[in-house]
Amino acid sequence: MKDINERNEIILDTSGTECPIPVLKARKLASELKRDVIVKIIATDPLAEPDFEHYCSQSKFEYLGCYKEINKIIIKYKFKIST
C-alpha cells in the first residue's frame, strides 16, 4: 500500500512480505514518481535493509538510511531520475 504523509513522503508498506517483494513493489512505484521524492518503506523482512541499499546503489537513488521501530524496519531514500 502506498500513501503520502504530512512530510510529502511516499509511504510504501511492504510489511509481511519477504525478499524480493519489497524491492519489486518499490521498483513498480518508481514508474509513478517525480524527481527528488522521498520514499519511506515500511518492511518486516530482515533482509530489506541490505536489499534496499543495493537497489538504491544500482538505481542511482540516494539512500537516506534505515532505523527500526517495534518489529518494523523503516527505510528512506530519495528518488532521482538518472541523467
d(CA 61, CA 33): 12
CATH superfamily of 2-79: TusA-like domain (3.30.110.40)
User: Which residues, at least 6 apart from 9, have a Cβ–Cβ distance to it below 8 Å?
Assistant: 37, 38, 39, 40, 76
13 or 81, which is more confident: 13
77 has pLDDT over 70 = yes
Per-residue pLDDT of 25-53, as tens digits, reads: 999 998 888 778 899 999 999 999 999 99
What is the per-residue pLDDT for 83? 46
Residue-range domain boundaries for the chain: 2-79
Per-residue pLDDT of 8-23, as tens digits, reads: 789 999 999 999 999 9
Residue type, 32: E
Q: Give the pLDDT mean for 50-68.
A: 95
